[in-house]
Amino acid sequence: MLQAYVNAFKIPDLRKKILFTLFIIVIYRVGTFIPTPGIDGQALSQFFGSLSGTPGGRLFGIMGMFSGGALQKATIFALGIMPYVSASIIMQLLTVVIPQLEKLSKEGEEGRRKLIQYTRYLTVVLSLIQTFFISLWLENPQAFQGMVIVPNPGWPFRLMTMLTITTGTAFIMWLGEQIDEYGIGNGMSILITAGIIESIPTALWQTFVLLSPLDPARQQLAYWKFVLMLFLFVGTVVSVILIIQGQRKIPVQYAKQIRGTRVYGGQSTYIPLKVNQAGVIPIIFAQSIILFPATIAGFVHSVSLQKFVGALSPGRFAYEILFALFIIFFAYFYTAITFQPIQMAENLQKYGGFIPGIRPGKSTAEFLDFVMTRIVLSGAIFLALIAAFPSIVSSPRVLNIPFLIASFFGGTGLLIIVGVILDTIKSIESQLLMRHYEGFIKKGRLKARR
């Protein structure tokens, strides 16, 4: 594997792409430390420091995960790439509903460019709406335990915040597109991963402090728990890799066609149905909905609403159950939108393909839908378990470790990190194999090679 990394830097074109991608990541990380004008950063840091270890701290930790901690610092990259992710998901859903957008999606490269342009416009609109409410939240001392975060509130501050953070989001979007064009690809996902990985040094330091190897009297984490954490981490990563790579292969046989003196077709292949067809989107959707009451509670001070939000705070039983149900629902919902069994059955029949033992046409579509419905259930249950795992591990009744450390045992962050790393390895490996270099794995084979 190490030789594969050395080979990657031997190829001039691939070396330039890797170095360019690293350069863009550095720019992105620098932007997460540039403060937004008009905000008392010291008071804001003091407020979030007071929330450490509380349900509110977990809530902001989940919300700020995709921005690499920039939300807690209220920097120019406070929203991260989430407005673009939300806009992309919305456009994908609208493409199925609106005939004009569906027609654009089938017009090839030109239609794809127009859809990307619409996604950019929607990203800016979503950013402006979100930054307006963020500015109102920052101006409200009651939301910060009486602390004054904005010394000079009013419309000048609101407009400046909206302009600054929206511009930062647009710049992040541009950085991701540069990685797609000049880097190793998968730009937006790489930036999200860079933001999530940013918290790893802090988590490692917290683990070291809890172990306190230099001062046993201050030790808060037993060594047997630490060893158990390592085994749980390895097992979780292996499970995530298996579920991401997992496929149900539906065999397909193509009939022989005689044209003149030549015989076409007759080969056997398969349709790969992914176990986790929806990826991390169900978790993102579920988090957005379940955190919505907490967002509203930041602006509307109602006793009944505060009690409701308290019952739905991360770590509570009601939160975990509702979160799991939302994940399962959105896994089916998103798969139903993106997976089109009728269209697949029509394409198979058009090119002379059929599934052995299944009649072409409607029967094939029903069979594909039947199989996918059962595959999605297993994938959705796995996503729900992975999403709830950090809360289980951090529970006082289990390991009782800080949520920041526990977040690397599951959840959206781990799924994104593992998925993006696998995609990046496949991308680099494909370019190595094109130039007759050995890839990352010599004995086994990644699914991208087949």
Q: Are residues 190 and 223 in the same domain?
A: no
CA distance 131 to 136: 9
Is residue 184 located within the same domain as residue 241?
Answer: no
Residue 20: its pLDDT value, please? 93
Q: Per the structure, how many domains does the chain have?
A: 2
CA-based end-to-end distance of the chain: 19
pLDDT for the residue numbered 216:
64
User: What mean pLDDT do residues 66-85 have?
Assistant: 80
Phi, psi of 188 (to 5 degrees): -60, -40
Q: Supply the pLDDT for residue 450.
A: 46
Is 193 found in the same domain as 247? no
Q: Do 188 and 290 belong to one domain?
A: no
pLDDT of res. 446? 53
Same domain, 354 and 306: yes
| 130 in any annotated domain | yes
Lowest mean pLDDT among 17-26, 34-43, 308-317: 308-317
Tens-place pLDDT, residues 128-179: 988 888 888 888 777 677 778 888 888 999 999 999 999 999 999 999 999 9
Listed ranges 72-86, 152-166, 190-204, 253-267; the one with the highest mean pLDDT? 152-166
- What pLDDT shows up at residue 3? 66
Mean pLDDT value of segment 397-401:
74
> Does residue 444 have a pLDDT over 70?
no
Q: What is the pLDDT of residue 104?
A: 85
Q: What is the pTM of this model?
A: 0.80
Judge whether 36 lies within some domain.
yes
**Contacts by residues 435-440 (CB-CB < 8 Å, ≥ 24 positions apart):** 435/11, 437/4, 437/7, 437/10, 437/11, 438/3, 438/4, 438/7, 439/4, 440/1, 440/4
Instruction: Tell me whether strands 257-259 and 353-354 are parallel, antiparallel or unpaired.
Output: unpaired
Same domain, 180 and 231: no
Residues 6 or more apart whose Cβ sits within 8 Å of residue 382 = 239, 243, 275, 276
Examine the domain organization and report whether 29 and 107 are in the same domain: yes
Q: What pLDDT does 261 receive?
A: 65
In a domain, 430, yes or no: no
CA 157 to chain centre: 31
Lowest mean per-residue pLDDT among 54-63, 113-122, 207-216, 352-361: 54-63
19 located within any domain: yes
101-138 pLDDT, tens per residue? 888 887 878 888 898 899 999 999 999 988 888 888 88
Percentage of the chain surpassing pLDDT 90?
Answer: 11
pLDDT at 178: 92
Give the residue from 198, 231, 253 where a domain finishes: 198
**Residue 8 backbone phi and psi in degrees, to 5:** -60, -35
426/343 Cα distance (integer angstroms): 28
pLDDT at residue 445, as a whole number: 52
pLDDT at residue number 214: 63
Q: What does the mean pLDDT of the chain come to?
A: 80
**26 touches 374 (CB < 8 A):** no
445 assigned to some structural domain? no
Same domain, 190 and 230: no
If DSSP codes are grouped into helix, strand and coil, which group holds residue 166? Answer: helix
pLDDT at 125: 93
Q: Is the domain of 24 the same as that of 156?
A: yes
Instruction: Measure the CA–CA gap between 398 and 377, rounded to whole angstroms.
Output: 27
Q: What are the CA-CA distances from residue 423 to residues 144, 179, 241 (Å)? A: 41, 14, 11
Q: Give yes or no for residue 449 having a pLDDT over 50.
A: no
C-beta separation of 410 from 389 below 8 A: yes
Answer yes or no: do 176 and 238 share one domain: no
Is there a single domain that holds both residue 167 and residue 234? no
The closest alpha carbon to 93, from 122, 64, 62, belongs to 122
Of 198, 231, 266, which marks where a domain is finished? 198
Q: What pLDDT, on the 0 to 100 scale, is given for residue 218?
A: 64
Which residues share a beta bridge with 269?
Answer: 252
- CATH number of the domain at 172, please: 1.10.3370.10
Task: State which residues form the domain around 97.
Answer: 1-198
Residues 133 and 232 in one domain: no
Token pair for residue 437? Answer: 């270099």
The pLDDT, as a whole number, for residue 414 is: 81
Alpha-carbon distance of 290 to 286, in angstroms, equals: 6
What is the mean predicted confidence (pLDDT) over 179-199?
Answer: 85
Flag whether 251 is in a domain: yes
| CB 71, CB 80: distance < 8 Å | yes
pLDDT-based confidence at residue 268 (cuts at 50, 70, 90): confident
Per the domain annotation, does 423 fall within a domain? Answer: no
- Give helix then strand counts, H and E, for the chain: 20, 5
Is there a domain that residue 282 lies in? yes
> What is the reported pLDDT for 103?
86
The span from the CA of 12 to the CA of 431, in Å, is 12
Q: Which of 261-265, 289-293, 426-430 ranks highest by mean pLDDT? A: 426-430
CA distance 7 to 27: 26
Copy the structure tokens of residue 102.
């569906």
Based on C-alpha coordinates, what's the Rg of the chain?
24
- As a whole number, mean pLDDT of residues 86-98 equals 83
How distant, in Å, are the alpha carbons of 98, 115, 166, 284, 377 from that of 122?
16, 10, 12, 18, 32
Q: Which residue has the higher pLDDT, 140 or 61?
A: 140
